[in-house]
Amino acid sequence: MTTSMAKAPNVRAVETPGQRTVYSMCGMCAVRCPMEVTVEDGRVTWLQGNTKDPAIGASLCAKGAAGLAFEFDDQRPQTPLIRKGPRGGGEWRRVSWDEALDYIAEKLHATIEQHGARGIALSDRGGPFTDLTRTFIHALGSPNYFNHDATCGGNVHNASRSLFGFSHAELIFDLKNTKHIVLYGRNIVESIMVKEAKAFMGAMANGMKCTYIDPRASVTACKATRYWQVRPGSDYALNLALIHEILKQEIYDREFVAKFVDGMDALREAVATTTPEWQEEHTGITADQLREFVREIAVDAPQVVFHPGWMTARHKQSFYVSRSTLILNALMGNIEIPGGLIMGKSPAQYDRKGLNALTARVAPVEEPRVDGAGSERPTWDPAIGMLHRLFAAMETGKPYGVGAYFAYRHDPLTGMPDREAMLHAMEHLDLLVSIDVRYSETAWQSDVILPESTYLERANILFQANGPVPVFGMRDQAIAPRYDSRPAWWIFREILRRMDIKDTLDFESIEEIWDYQLDGTGVSIADMREAGMAVLAEAPRFIARDEIRFRTPSGKIEIVSDSLLKAGLPALAPYSPHTAPTGDAFTLLFGRPATLAHGQSLNNPILRDIAPEQELWIHPDRAGPLGITDRASVEVQGAGKYRGTLKARVTPWIHPEAVFMLHGYGATVPLATRAVGVGVADQRLQGGKLDEFDPAGGGCALTETIVRVKPAATGGLQP
């Protein structure tokens, strides 16, 4: 029933001899920076940023630079593998693609028999290529596509939709002209997006001010003009007081607000008593400090931007943190002006045609989502879902059972809280498939591992990004795969063909898919290959103030939103204060260094070599009474059985109520020899957190985790 399995479906030019430049996109983290790859006789010799895109130039971060070490590393799945023995037992059988795919199809049929097609789910890490994964899962007849936003940007995404009718990702910062940026733990220079880090540092060098708010002083705090060490989880109280003071002093853009903001009465009511004095005990910031800040931004407005964040899966009011942060931008009147937040534009706004979507080839799935997104949970975007509810459904069979789960380049056992709870839920699955380029924690527990070709060895579908100027982007294939791997589009096509769904991805090559996507756009594959992208307009065009329309029912920024009303949730909830943990109890915070992307980097030979030692940041006022000294070994334990030992870093640059550690450590896969057993897995300390989430935004409440800390028994470094 299928064509030859023997050869990977390479792009036509991949074996061209001599030296050439291929335009690609980095695959070393989920940012996917545009890049140029120099290939000499079929071997990659040089990676750099795509110099045709002036926002990045040749720059790449350390992870991107370690792409060559990744490519030449043998420690990755090299053929399809089917599990022998129990899940996680580490016994595998090397199989052909035919056998692996037939096995998957057989299991999918069994799942459909038992649960219906809706019992099949897939998660990925979001981003530019989800048109393919959504198409795959919808073609199977299931609504259950998920991205990783339950532990990333879900709260801010949904908060933005509730206000503007579109995602925060469609508000693009014009940092070059910004006078003051406010960051709520958005660690721009360590959780690096190269373009953003470059623009941020460039703007700082030009005199932009930065107020950085975080219980821990990250490197970004060290670059800021003002650092506020707030109490953990208190950012919402701070915002309510800021809005109170800004309204009281009337330093907001009255013209913009009158024209574009609906529901100011509700806003005034929500902040009626949240004075600068009120917030003092919650945040630890004095009323004077807050008023001084407000005076400062009054001078710099409207070129003042409040960053709504990306990773906002923090606590149960994170949705309202994001919502109030976005409201602060609206009060500044910074939307669609230089130095403010520029609205993303579609090709149609420049009289151009956008890419043809693959999802247009599938009938919409009417079945309700398993997580209730868009139905029982009106504020959750059904386009991205909330992955923790999938695990709940696996566990309970409610609202319906789930039998098959594809983790596509996604590692929930590292990215989501409470590994033990997830493993238990996954016991109910008939089929767990990981499609990946590495041995992830989830891959190791899977029934089938399908090796995807690396980002240098594969081409992806084209993508469209609606920025100030819309662009099409491309990841072309630089080299032939080193092992028996396949690109995602081929893998999904082959599974669909085996399920007798032949029309949806009926393409023989990636070029055929590109032709379909580009049809009628006036852009050709050859155009795309010139620069790895096609810019659809000469220069960005601001929408005239009178013509701005938001994608809400009223066309305005809606403080009071229908979706919140339907969910029975207030426009801005009253602040829920946190009790300060005492004794040996601390709020656990986590973050990343510039050299690691979550769990996916530590097994890279070069990145492992320069990885920072994982330490537990702890304040001296709290460490002292516990007998913990700097560099001593400490033991950390969460709500579950899991505990770990690491070195203490006793420092005043962490709030006394919190401890901090780097994420991405504590791997268990034996075949990832450089990462296995190194450090402590913070997500495993988050016991019980798989079922705790922000009801409005849906994101996990990761930083509500409480851990207990004590000197390690075997540390041997105690005085």
Partner 1 sequence: MSKYILQHDEPNCIGCRACEVHCTSNKGLGPGPSPCKIVSAGPVDVDGQPRMHFTFMPCFHCEEPWCVKACPTGAMQKREKDGIVFVESSICIGCKSCITACPWGTPQWNPETNKVVKCDFCMDRVDAGLKPACVTKCVTGCLSFGVANEVPDPRRERYARFLLAEAAREVESDGSDKP
Question: Can you tell me whether residue 39 is helix, strand or coil?
Answer: strand
Q: Which of 42, 85, 574, 605 binds partner 1 (CB under 8 A)?
A: 605
Binding segment (CB under 8 A) for partner 1, from list 308-316, 451-459, 547-555, 601-609? 601-609
Q: How far is the CB of 335 from partner 1 (least distance, A)?
A: 20
How many amino acids of this chain bind partner 1 (CB under 8 A)?
52
Q: Which of 25, 31, 66, 536 binds partner 1 (CB under 8 A)?
A: 66
In this structure, are residues 245 and 290 in contact, taking their beta carbons and an 8 Å threshold?
yes
Q: Which of 5, 548, 594, 639 binds partner 1 (CB under 8 A)?
A: 594
The residue (of 302 and 378) whose beta carbon lies closer to partner 1 is 302
The residue (of 58 and 348) whose beta carbon lies closer to partner 1 is 58
In this structure, are residues 100 and 91 in contact, taking their beta carbons and an 8 Å threshold?
no
Binding mask 41-60 for partner 1 (x = CB under 8 A): -----xxxx-------xxxx
- Using rule CB under 8 A, residue 222 touches partner 1: yes
Binding segment (CB under 8 A) for partner 1, from list 8-16, 224-232, 421-429, 665-673? 224-232
362: left (phi over 0), alpha (psi -120 to 50) or beta: beta
Q: Torsion over CA of 556, 560, 561 and 566, rounded to 10 degrees? A: -160
Q: Which of 5, 69, 537, 585 binds partner 1 (CB under 8 A)?
A: 69
Closest residue by Cα to residue 287 from 236, 233, 244, 332: 244
Binding mask 366-405 for partner 1 (x = CB under 8 A): ----------------------------------------
Binding mask 225-244 for partner 1 (x = CB under 8 A): xxx-----------------
Q: How far is the CB of 21 from partner 1 (least distance, A)?
A: 14
Q: Are strands 34-40 and 19-25 parallel, antiparallel or unpaired?
A: antiparallel
In this structure, what DSSP letter does residue 573 have?
Answer: P
In this structure, are residues 92 and 449 in contact, taking their beta carbons and an 8 Å threshold?
yes
- Using rule CB under 8 A, residue 272 touches partner 1: no
Binding segment (CB under 8 A) for partner 1, from list 86-94, 218-226, 412-420, 467-475? 218-226
Q: How far is the CB of 44 from partner 1 (least distance, A)?
A: 10
Q: Which of 13, 272, 299, 565 binds partner 1 (CB under 8 A)?
A: 299
The residue (of 26 and 707) whose beta carbon lies closer to partner 1 is 26
Closest residue by Cα to residue 421 from 641, 150, 630: 641
- Using rule CB under 8 A, residue 3 touches partner 1: no
Give 501's Cβ-side CA count (13 Å radius): 22
Binding segment (CB under 8 A) for partner 1, from list 138-146, 261-269, 295-303, 625-633? 295-303
Task: Identify residues 106-125 at the interface with partner 1 (CB under 8 A).
Answer: none
Q: How far is the CB of 305 from partner 1 (least distance, A)?
A: 16
Q: How far is the CB of 515 from partner 1 (least distance, A)?
A: 34
Closest residue by Cα to residue 683 from 477, 413, 385: 413
Q: Is 527 exposed, middle or buried (0-12, 13-18, 19+ CB in 10 A)?
A: middle
Binding segment (CB under 8 A) for partner 1, from list 137-145, 219-227, 263-271, 682-690? 219-227
Q: How far is the CB of 248 from partner 1 (least distance, A)?
A: 17
DSSP alpha helix (H) spans, 28-75: 62-65, 67-71
Closest residue by Cα to residue 342 from 242, 470, 224, 239: 470
Angle 159-163-167 from CA coordinates, rounded to 5°: 60
Query: 163: which 2 tokens?
Result: 């206000």
- Using rule CB under 8 A, residue 565 touches partner 1: no
Among positive and negative, which fits the CA dihedral 436, 437, 442, 448? positive
Q: Going along 102-203, which residue ranges are E strands?
A: 120-123, 145-146, 171-173, 180-184
- Using rule CB under 8 A, residue 337 touches partner 1: no
The residue (of 44 and 326) whose beta carbon lies closer to partner 1 is 44
Task: Identify residues 167-206 at the interface with partner 1 (CB under 8 A).
Answer: 179, 189-190, 192, 194, 197-198, 201-202, 204-206
Q: Are strands 448-451 and 431-436 parallel, antiparallel or unpaired?
A: parallel
Among positive and negative, which fits the CA dihedral 365, 368, 372, 375? positive
The torsion angles phi and psi of 297, rounded to 5 degrees, stand at -70, -25
Q: How far is the CB of 45 from partner 1 (least distance, A)?
A: 9
Task: Identify residues 467-486 at the interface with partner 1 (CB under 8 A).
Answer: none
Q: How far is the CB of 300 from partner 1 (least distance, A)?
A: 7
CA 445/CA 246 separation, integer angstroms: 52
Q: Which of 300, 527, 562, 692 binds partner 1 (CB under 8 A)?
A: 300
Count other Cβ atoms within 10 Å, centred on residue 290. 22
Distance between terminal CA atoms of the chain? 71
The length of the chain, given as a count of residues: 719
Task: Identify residues 640-659 at the interface with partner 1 (CB under 8 A).
Answer: 651-653
Q: How far is the CB of 196 from partner 1 (least distance, A)?
A: 10
- Using rule CB under 8 A, residue 221 touches partner 1: yes
- Using rule CB under 8 A, residue 676 touches partner 1: no
Count other Cβ atoms within 10 Å, centred on residue 367. 14
The b-or-e profile of 329-356 (16+ CB within 10 A means b, else e) is: bbbbbbbbbebbbbbbbebebeebebbb
In this structure, are residues 273 and 282 in contact, taking their beta carbons and an 8 Å threshold?
no
Q: How far is the CB of 374 from partner 1 (least distance, A)?
A: 39
CA 438/CA 208 separation, integer angstroms: 41
Q: How far is the CB of 210 from partner 1 (least distance, A)?
A: 11
DSSP 291-321: HHHHHHHHHHTTSEEEE--S---SSTTHHHH
CA 40/CA 68 separation, integer angstroms: 14
Binding segment (CB under 8 A) for partner 1, from list 375-383, 447-455, 527-535, 606-614? 606-614
Q: Which of 610, 613, 673, 713 binds partner 1 (CB under 8 A)?
A: 610
Q: How far is the CB of 30 from partner 1 (least distance, A)?
A: 17
What's the longest Cα–Cα distance across the chain? 74
Q: Which of 9, 27, 64, 308 binds partner 1 (CB under 8 A)?
A: 64
Query: 352: which 2 tokens?
Result: 């151009």
The residue (of 84 and 295) whose beta carbon lies closer to partner 1 is 295
Give 9's Cβ-side CA count (13 Å radius): 21
Q: How far is the CB of 63 from partner 1 (least distance, A)?
A: 8
Q: Which of 22, 31, 217, 433 binds partner 1 (CB under 8 A)?
A: 217
Q: Are strands 43-49 and 34-40 parallel, antiparallel or unpaired?
A: antiparallel
Q: Which of 10, 162, 329, 595 binds partner 1 (CB under 8 A)?
A: 595
- Using rule CB under 8 A, residue 207 touches partner 1: yes
DSSP alpha helix (H) spans, 37-96: 62-65, 67-71
**Where on the chain is the footprint of partner 1 (CB under 8 A)?**
46-49, 57-62, 64-66, 68-69, 179, 189-190, 192, 194, 197-198, 201-202, 204-208, 217, 219, 221-227, 298-300, 594-595, 605-610, 651-653
